[in-house]
Structure 1
């Protein structure tokens, strides 16, 4: 059983969003997105898991207030605390500008990918815990969500109590 199929067993949803125009979106962002993320959005859409973790959709719009997949804003990149890493070796390999944000939590944790590592399907997940540091997880977005919900990480990678719940519900925004 694939990771995505396993995730569908623990993450329920009553709705799904329309397919995105990935050609237009890739052109706008000047990158291709991971296939598991595109599959996730086709099945679930953008929205929230138990009102605690939001998953964003990329859009070709320019509304600065819209919650969408994006790079970290310039004013955030200028903050010195945003360049803190749990593993000092990662600070030598990555910069916050390498992160494409795909989600956030109610505790202000930032969820994204390091987009300078291999192909989109190989991008590791990066998590910035509020007031803390970046931690890299060598897994896809859907693997990250599955491990979060099933408690398969050594410890909770976020500040939210979804860790190890075993199941959750996704609500489309």
Structure 2
């Protein structure tokens, strides 16, 4: 990942992972934990925003554009939108970790007991369809940057095949 997207000079952020785990009822994937340590929240290619972990609070207490609100948006879209065949009939536990400039939602299916094996589910807003990618968050990003899927899973190609991507850390 770091060869394709150099981390910011000021590094990642400190996170109270025990608080995050307690509030969501599960630990987060180790590749995401590592991403936050090295990069922190921010945007790849000024296109894909990667959310800062936040405790699972009520919607009225959550940040307007944060992980909790975007997860609620994903849950609503899950109920109303089409799914690829392998997703028909399932009810995943969604946690949104990213949103892009074309309003696609990038989530984990956090239903399984091992966060390291949670697949990425993408709601591609332009197609109004959910798809599953059997890899973690970091591998998903690397595969997008290497154009290593049959087609771009995102709504635009700002990251597709970009081997020297820019990461801009979110300033708090």
Answer whether TM exceeds 0.5 for this pair. Answer: yes
| 8 Å contact kept, 2:104–2:123 | yes
1:78/1:55 Cα in 2 relative to 1: closer, same or farther (>3 Å)? closer
The structure carrying a bigger helix percent of its residues is 1
1:9/1:79 Cα in 2 relative to 1: closer, same or farther (>3 Å)? closer
Deviations 1:57-95 (A, max 9, x none): 11237443343323632796278533x2022x4122234
Deviations 1:3-39 (A, max 9, x none): xxxx110011323232211111111221110000000
Whether 1:11 aligns to 2:8 is no
Determine the structure 1 residue equivalent to 2:47. Answer: 52
Matched length: 163
d(CA) in 2 for partners of 1:74 and 1:110?
Answer: 9
Determine the structure 2 residue equivalent to 1:43. Answer: 38
Equivalent position to 2:90, from 93, 113, 116:
93
Determine the structure 1 residue equivalent to 2:147. Answer: 151
Q: Secondary structure at the match of 1:11?
A: coil
**Gapped runs of 5+ residues in structure 2?**
none
Normalised TM-score (structure 2): 0.85
**Gapped runs of 5+ residues in structure 1?**
1-6
Normalised TM-score (structure 1): 0.85
